[in-house]
């Protein structure tokens, strides 16, 4: 009986101690937030089969000099959807798309998720536009507009797409860009890109005047390297290209011209996306989708991005540009 009482007494003491509050710190597993992924890709001439009399799109229309038919169009859509699948981002900027219909066809072909689409027709002579795919379960769009780029030194060009949205209740400003190319000569093109850079700077200054801690990201095909004149102009408003540290690395880039790698496609962020307040870039998350299938593996153009068209000749690849992405986290 004594033994029984002693055991019961000890059991009660142990039980009570286990229920008593403790000052010990219990280690808990840190919850790692799923970052927001933002990407960009120049899809290389995604045109429909219709000949629009108001656009210079004849070569891609039925009966045009490229001899495009439904089968070729379907292949272009299929290969483009492969890139989007491999990139797998929440928000995706696109350029060189003709209209809303080709975007819808591309979105329907991509089975990974169903994006919402933002698109505005631009006054570009070729009829190519910028657009944004976004997953509304990950990113909430508050507003969008097309910023017309009226060049003094040239004809109509594509608009800049400006989108304001929220991720985890934090506001993010996104600019989707496709700056004037060197078509017609580099010396003639540089002033056009200077005008475009100045337009972006003005827009950002307006944002910062009313939202001093605004978090801003530029994505696009800038047709310049991160250390070129017009990209460095953006530093005036605290912008930095995330591709700059990659410059000079062998066989690294998003585009190849005359055997030389370059970073025409860039992700550029302001200082508020590089601090630890609110939203910030995940360290070393800037990424190029550089899988073997996206580069030519032999011949005179080995290492070049595996493009869909080479002049009027169908290669049946993907694009002359590689896709890029980055991750953003809410602190």
97-146 pLDDT, tens digit per residue, is 999 999 999 999 998 888 999 999 999 989 999 999 999 999 999 999 99
Q: Mean pLDDT throughout 191-207?
A: 97
| Three-state secondary structure call for residue 278 | coil
DSSP assignments along 116-139, one per residue: EEEE-----TT--EEEEEE-TTT-
pTM: 0.89
**How far is Cα 207 from Cα 173, in angstroms, rounded to an integer?**
9
pLDDT score of 153: 76
| Residue spans per domain, the chain | 32-330
pLDDT in tens, 93-106: 999 999 999 999 99
CA–chain centroid gap for 87, Å, is 10
Q: Cβ–Cβ contacts within 10 Å for residue 205, how many?
A: 11
The CATH fold assigned to 32-330 is: Deoxyribonuclease I; Chain A (3.60.10)
pLDDT in tens, 261-297: 999 999 999 999 998 789 999 999 999 999 999 999 9
Of 162, 173, 64, the residue nearest 122 (C-alpha): 162
């Amino acid at each position: 009986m004594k033994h029984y009482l002693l055991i019961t007494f000890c059991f009660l003491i142990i039980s009570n101690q286990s229920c008593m509050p403790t000052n010990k710190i219990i280690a808990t597993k840190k919850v790692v937030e799923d970052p927001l992924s933002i990407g960009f890709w120049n899809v290389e001439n995604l045109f429909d089969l219709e000949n629009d009399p108001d656009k210079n799109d004849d070569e891609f229309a039925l009966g045009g000099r490229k001899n495009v038919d439904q089968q070729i169009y379907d292949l272009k859509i299929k290969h483009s959807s492969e890139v989007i699948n491999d990139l797998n981002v929440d928000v995706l900027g696109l350029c060189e798309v003709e209209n809303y219909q080709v975007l819808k066809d591309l979105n329907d072909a991509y089975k990974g998720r169903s994006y919402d689409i933002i698109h505005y027709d631009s006054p570009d002579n070729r009829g190519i536009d910028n657009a944004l795919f976004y997953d509304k379960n990950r990113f909430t769009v508050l507003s969008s507009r097309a910023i017309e780029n009226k060049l003094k030194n040239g004809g109509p060009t594509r608009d800049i797409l400006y989108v304001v949205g929220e991720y985890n209740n934090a506001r993010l400003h996104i600019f989707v860009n496709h700056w004037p190319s060197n078509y017609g000569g580099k010396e003639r093109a540089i002033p056009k890109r200077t005008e475009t850079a100045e337009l972006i700077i003005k827009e950002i200054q307006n944002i910062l005047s009313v939202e001093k801690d605004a978090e801003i990201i530029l994505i696009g095909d800038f047709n310049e390297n991160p250390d070129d004149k017009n990209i460095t102009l953006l530093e005036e408003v605290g912008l930095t290209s995330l591709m700059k540290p990659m410059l000079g690395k062998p066989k690294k880039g998003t585009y190849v011209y005359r055997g030389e790698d370059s970073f025409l496609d860039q992700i550029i962020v302001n200082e508020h996306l590089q601090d630890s307040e609110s939203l910030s870039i995940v360290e070393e998350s800037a990424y190029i989708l550089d899988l073997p299938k996206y580069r030519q593996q032999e011949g005179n153009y080995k290492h070049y991005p595996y493009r869909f068209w080479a002049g009027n000749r169908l290669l049946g690849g993907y694009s002359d540009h590689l896709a890029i992405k980055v991750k953003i986290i809410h602190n």
